[in-house]
Each structure stands twice: as structure tokens, then as C-alpha cells.
Chains A and B, each alone.
Chain A
Amino acid sequence: MLRRTWITALGLMCAVAAVPMARAEAVAADAFVRTLSNEVIDAVKADKAIQGGDVSRIRSLVDAKVMPHVDFQRMTAMSVGPQWRSATPEQQKRMLEEFKTLMVNTYSGALTQVKNQTVQVKPLRNTSPDSDLVVRTEVRGQGEPIQLDYRLEKAGEGWKIYDVNVGGFWVVEAYKGQFAKDLSAGGLDALITRLSEKNKSTRN
């Protein structure tokens, strides 16, 4: 009887100890987003060349500051869908390259519009010890605030982004729609070809 009580107490203690851990993780997630957003915005505002519209500089900024925190393998797999699993490693490697370029172009395009915006990270709603969660932020500065949400997954000590929502539109969902036609018409190879053409034309 005493032992059972003791075990229950131990269990409760562990549970109670785990709650602040979960909360600490949850706090780290929105802190991570806040830090990253501010870093990127500050870098964009400080760089005269970027302010002048130098797109290649924005691209290298995104490459250096943002991409390390994105799980684009997962984003690519989600965007391509069932065909990803049946793809050869060679195809996957090529697709990842093109997808990464596409993402960098997308993000850079958005960043060219940053003038004097600020990012406000909203308080996290779900503090469950899930390993994936959504961090909501708002970009304020010009007129109506723009909603910008991130889906994060645990990655070692920190977090990685695997989906972004701009004004109600999840990017993975967007890419799924974009890839669907080429995938069903000619499979992953056709998609890779199409993407690489697109990326080349954007670069010029």
C-alpha cells in the first residue's frame, strides 16, 4: 500500500517536473522564431544593396540565415507526395536541389518588400509536449498586418521549420497544387525538368 503510494508520488513528481520542461521547450520555439525573424529583418534593413533591390544578395542572405533552419527535405517530400517514396536517390537529390532554389527565390521575392516592418510573435497556444507545433506571427508595418505562421519540428536542441503560412496560405499546400499536374503527366523527372527551367529563368 505504501509502496504504491510512493510510486504514484514519484510518477506525479516526474509529471510535474516534465511540465516546466515542456513549457521551456514551448518558450524556446517562439523565441527561436522571434530571433530568426528579427535577424532576417535587421539584415535586410541594414544592407543598402538589398534595399536597392539587389536580388542576388537577398538570395545569399536567405541561403545563409534562413535555409539552415528549414527542413526542406520534409517540405519536398510533403509537396511531392506519394511519388517521393518511390523515387531513386538520384532523383531525390536533384529534386531537393531544385526545390531549395525555388524556396530561396520565393522567400527572397517576399523579402524585397520589407521596408520598415516589424514582426510580432503571438503567444503560443498549445503548450502540449508535442514535438511539432505552430508558431503564429504577424508582420506589421504597412496597413493591414499580414499573418505569417510556421510549423516547427524538434531538431536536436532546437527547431526546424517545415511549413510556412502567408496570409492563410500554407506553402506546402501551394507547392502540392503546383506540382500535381507535372507529376501526374510525366512523373518526378518531368517535374524536375520543369522546375529547373523555371529556376533558371528566374535567376536571369
Chain B
Amino acid sequence: MMRRLFAALMIAALMLGLQGCSSIPWIKPALENTGPSTERSDPWERFNRRVFSFNEALDAVVIKPLALGYRAVVPEWLRTGVDNVFNNVGDLWSAVNLMLQAKPRAALEMGMRVATNTVFGIFGFVDVADELGLERRSVEDFGQTLGRWGLKSGPYLVLPLLGPSTLRDTAALTVDFKASPPNLAFREVRDQNGATALQLLNTRVKLLNASRVLDDIALDKYVLLRDAYLARRRSMIYDGEPPEDDEPAAPAAAASAPAK
């Protein structure tokens, strides 16, 4: 655990250092990515679109059918239980991140959730804490922790299989991965892989409705997914209250507006 924390801090230091080198011309635009969508730069768009197309194809051919099958075969109470178990381990990592973000009270509440669910909820199978009024307020990961401490997100990046991310969040993933439920729960790689596959199915099933809405309303699904992800990410870092940075009534100046 200490070694992972050390690795995480090294990554953070490296990226903060890079940010300090903003005088190097190609670094600065790559590190800024917080403006509204019309001004948001996507310097890796060509690459991203290709990965996005790959992900879409993979989803249509393999993942979505599997998720639909999973949903059809496995009864809801069991699916919910599995979801709760994954979320419980996830809450543990959230608690760690809340501590790292200097939010001790939230961290403590999250810790209590985990303790309650693990002890009284059969290792998290039943979300007892929720019934008791201790709700999950947020899901925290290491990328958000870095963001909270001022590390800009960097360019938008689409990862194979995993989907939307940013440069910062991708770097943070290595840390998140070590602390992910399959890795924490199991030692054997084979078990970890099985658990990861189950987690993937679980997530995909939860997103089945949302992805249908996305398909219904998107003129350009890539752009919509990107904008939604970046806006959502920013909101998560500021816990639902991101600073306003543009007037909604101001006309969109599209490409001619200077980057903020």
C-alpha cells in the first residue's frame, strides 16, 4: 500500500512539475482543458475518434450483447448485490481519496459506510448504510484527488475499452487500478480477471439506459460523450459546485474565442 502511495505521489509530482514548465509552448495548451465546450480544445481528436470507433464496435459486437444476456439471465436481487459488493470496495478507495483531498468529515462518513456494510451487510452485499441514512455522496478516485489539488486535466483522451478519460485521469488510473475491487479482493490473477470481467458487465448493464438516451439525442456521439465526460468530471472534482466561468447568455464565439 505504501509503495502504491509513493508511486501515486511521484506521478503527481511529475505532472505538477510539467505544469511548471508551462513556458514550453507545446506543454501549455496540452495542460489546459477546463473551458466550456465551444472553446475546449481536443488536440488528440483524430486519435480519440479512432479509439472511440473501436470501442463502439467492440461494444456493439461483444460487450452490449453480453450485458443484455447478463441482465436477462441473472435475477435483479443478485445483480444488485454484486453491484453493492463492488461499490463497497469502491467506497473504501473513495474514503482514502477523501482523506487525501483534506475532507476528513466526508472521509469518516465514507469509512463508516464501508464498516457498516461490511459487517452488517454481508461484506457489502446489502447496502445497509443507505437504509440507515448514510448515503454515498460521491465516488472519489485518484484523478479527482489530483484535480482537487490543482492539477489541470490535460487533453481529452479516449482509452481502448475504458472509454473517455483525460491525460491526468489516465495517469491516475494506474493507482486506481491497484486499489480496484478485483485487485484488493483477490490474489490470483485468474480470479482478478474474472472479477474484473464481472465488474465490466455490471457497469455496462447500469449504463444500458443511458447509452440508449445518448444514441437518441446525439448528432455527433463522440462530441457529446466528450463534452458530457469533461463537464461531469469537472463537477465531480468540485463536488457539484464548479466555479462559473462563462455567462450562459453570451453568444458562442466558437473558434474565434481566445482560450480562457
Which residues of chain A have a CB within 8 Å of any CB of chain B? 78, 81-82, 102, 105-106, 109-110, 112-113, 140, 143-145, 147, 151, 163, 167-170, 172-174, 176-182, 184, 194-195, 198, 202
Q: Does B189 contact A (CB under 8 A)?
A: no
Q: Does B191 contact A (CB under 8 A)?
A: no
B223 adjacent to A177 (CB under 8 Å)? yes
Distance of A116 Cα from B228 Cα, bound (Å): 25
B218 adjacent to A180 (CB under 8 Å)? no
A168 adjacent to B234 (CB under 8 Å)? yes
| Min distance, Cβ A127 to any Cβ of chain B, angstroms | 17
B213 adjacent to A106 (CB under 8 Å)? yes
Distance of A172 Cα from B227 Cα, bound (Å): 11
Take A168-B236, A184-B254 as given contacts and tell me if A174 and B137 are in contact as well, using a CB distance cutoff of 8 Å. Answer: no
B87 adjacent to A78 (CB under 8 Å)? no
- Which residue among A173, A182, A184 has the maximum number of chain B CB atoms within 10 Å of its CB? A173
Q: Does B194 contact A (CB under 8 A)?
A: no
10 smallest CB-CB distances across A and B, nearest first, come from A168-B235, A109-B213, A81-B252, A177-B37, A169-B231, A168-B232, A177-B227, A178-B219, A106-B217, A202-B216
**What are 11 A-to-B residue pairs whose CB atoms are below 8 Å?**
A78-B249, A81-B254, A106-B216, A112-B213, A113-B209, A144-B137, A168-B231, A168-B232, A169-B228, A169-B231, A184-B255
B231 adjacent to A173 (CB under 8 Å)? yes
Distance of A202 Cα from B209 Cα, bound (Å): 15
* Other-chain residue from B135, B209, B232, B251 in contact with A169 (beta carbon distance below 8 A): B232
- In the complex, the chain B residue whose C-beta lies closest to that of A85 is B251
| Min distance, Cβ A147 to any Cβ of chain B, angstroms | 5
Which residues of chain B have a CB within 8 Å of any CB of chain A? 36-38, 87, 135-139, 209-210, 212-213, 216-220, 223-224, 226-228, 231-236, 240, 242, 248-249, 251-255
User: Which of chain A's residues have a CB closer than 8 A to the CB of B251?
Assistant: 81-82
User: Which of chain A's residues have a CB closer than 8 A to the CB of B248?
Assistant: 78, 151, 163, 170, 172
Take A78-B249, A144-B139, A180-B254 as given contacts and tell me if A195 and B219 are in contact as well, using a CB distance cutoff of 8 Å. Answer: yes
Distance of A83 Cα from B101 Cα, bound (Å): 44
User: Which of chain A's residues have a CB closer than 8 A to the CB of B252?
Assistant: 78, 81-82, 176, 180
- In the complex, the chain B residue whose C-beta lies closest to that of A178 is B219
B136 adjacent to A181 (CB under 8 Å)? no
B38 adjacent to A177 (CB under 8 Å)? yes
B227 adjacent to A179 (CB under 8 Å)? no
Distance of A168 Cα from B226 Cα, bound (Å): 13
A179 adjacent to B219 (CB under 8 Å)? yes
User: Which of chain B's residues have a CB closer than 8 A to the CB of A202?
Assistant: 216-217
